[in-house]
Amino acid sequence: MLAAVASYLDAKAVNGQWLLRIEDVDRHRTVRGATEAICRSLEAHGLFWDGEIVAQTDRDARYEAALQKLAEADRIFYCNCTRKKLRAEAGPYAGHCRSRRRCNYQPATPDAPASHAIRFDTSGLASPVFHDRILGQQQLDLQALGDFIVRRRDSLFAYQLAVVVDDAEQGITDIVRGADLLESTPWQIVLQRVLGYSTPRYAHLPLLVHAKDGAKLSKQTGATTLHDQQASANLLRALAQLGQVLPPGNGPAVKQGGLPAPAQILAFATQHWDCSKIPRQPINSNEHPQNAH
C-alpha cells in the first residue's frame, strides 16, 4: 500500500497519469483471484488508475522481440550452469558461459526445463550513475551485480526484461517503488540503453520493517492483512510513514471513527505532496499518525 499511495500522489501532484500493471510474468506464482482482489483494494482506498490494466502474461511477443534485439547487439549468452554450481560460488555470476553466444536452445516443456537460461552480458559496460529522487546520486557496481537472467530455465521471461519493455511501451516517465528494488536499477538501465529506450526517473521508498528486528515487513515475516474497511486509517498511516502533511479532520466524515473519506484525504495529500519529505531510512511498521486532526 505504501508504494501505491506514494506513486499515485507523485503522479497526480503534477497532473500525470497513474497506471496499473499486473506484474504476473512469473506464472507459477500467480494466485487465482489476486488481480481482482488488488483492484478492489485500490478502489476501496480511492486509488483509481488511468487507462486499461496491462497484464504481463499478455505480452510475451513483445519480450521475445526485445530478446532478439539483445541478441543482435551481442549482449546475451546461453547458460547451462546448475543451481548447485552457482550456490557453491560466492558473489555474482562468474561469467562461465559468456562465450556461448549460440546454441541449440530447447525451450522448457511440462516435463523438463529449457536447455539453457539466457543471461545478459554485463562485461565491458560502465556502471550507470543515476539520481534517485529520495536517496540522491547512486552508482552501484554493475560488475559486482553480475550477469543477470533475461529468460529463465522454465522459458519464462525474467522480471528485469519484462518491466523494462513494459515501462518503455507505456511511456513511463517516473518510477516510485521500494528500496528493495534499488539493486535492480543498474540492470534495468543498461537494458534500456541497449534497447534504445529512455531512462525514467527513479524514487526508491524506504522499506517498512519490523520494530523488533528490523526485518522487511512481508507476508513471510508476519505482516497483517490490509483491511479495506479501514481505508481512511490506512491512508493516514501511509502518509505519516511517508513524512507527509496530514489533512485536518474537520471535513465530511464517513463511518471510520470520524476520519475524512479516502477521496478527501487523497485530494489534500495530492495538493501537499512533497517527495523531499520522504525518509531515507527504513520505517518502523508500527509508526502511525499521532493526530489526524
- pLDDT at site 211: 61
Each residue's pLDDT tens digit in the chain (293 positions)?
899 999 999 999 999 999 999 999 988 888 889 999 999 999 999 999 999 999 999 999 999 999 999 999 999 999 999 989 999 988 899 999 999 999 999 999 999 999 999 999 999 999 999 999 999 999 999 999 999 999 999 999 999 999 999 999 999 999 999 999 999 999 999 999 999 999 999 999 999 986 655 566 555 545 567 899 999 999 999 999 999 999 886 444 444 457 999 999 999 999 999 999 999 998 876 654 443 33
The CA–CA distances, whole Å, from 166 to 25, 150, 197 equal 11, 14, 11
Is residue 85 one of the residues assigned to a domain? yes
Confirm whether 33 is domain-assigned: no
Q: What's the burial of 74, exposed, middle or buried (CB within 10 Å: 0-12/13-18/19+)?
A: exposed
Q: What is the pLDDT of residue 121?
A: 98
Which amino acid is it at 10? D
First to last CA, the chain: 22
Q: Is residue 150 part of a domain?
A: yes
Say what the pLDDT of residue 258 is.
Answer: 78
pLDDT at 218: 52
CATH assignment of the domain containing 193: 3.40.50.620
pLDDT at 91: 86
Q: Domain range spanning residue 107?
A: 59-205
Burial 109-119 (b: 16+ CB within 10 A, else e): eeeeebebbbb
Backbone angles phi, psi at 220, to 5 degrees: -70, -20
- Domain count along the chain: 1
- What does the pLDDT read at residue 29? 83
| Among 150, 149, 205, residue whose Cα is nearest residue 174 | 205
Residue 121 lies in a domain: yes
> Is 94 inside a domain boundary?
yes
CA dihedral 180, 52, 188, 134 (to 10 degrees): -50
* pLDDT recorded at residue 182: 97
DSSP the chain: -HHHHHHHHHHHTTT-----EE----GGG--TTHHHHHHHHHHHTT-PPSS--EEGGG-HHHHHHHHHHHHHTT-EEEE---HHHHHTS-SS---TTTT---------BTTB--S-EEEE--TTPPPP-EEETTTEEE---HHHH--EEEE-TTSPBPHHHHHHHHHHHTT--EEEEEGGGTTHHHHHHHHHHHHTPPPPEEEEEPPEE-TTT-PBPSGGGTPPPPPGGGHHHHHHHHHHHTTPPPPPS-S-B-TTTTPBPHHHHHHHHHHT--GGGS-SS-EETT---S---
Dihedral sign for Cα 187, 280, 275, 237, please. positive
Residue 221 lies in a domain: no
> What tens digit of pLDDT does each residue of 62-95 get?
999 999 999 999 999 999 999 899 999 888 999 9
pTM above 0.75, yes or no: yes
Output the CA torsion 237→239→245→249 (10° steps): -50
Instruction: Determine, yes or no, domain membership for 284.
Output: no
Q: Does residue 233 belong to any structural domain of this protein? A: no
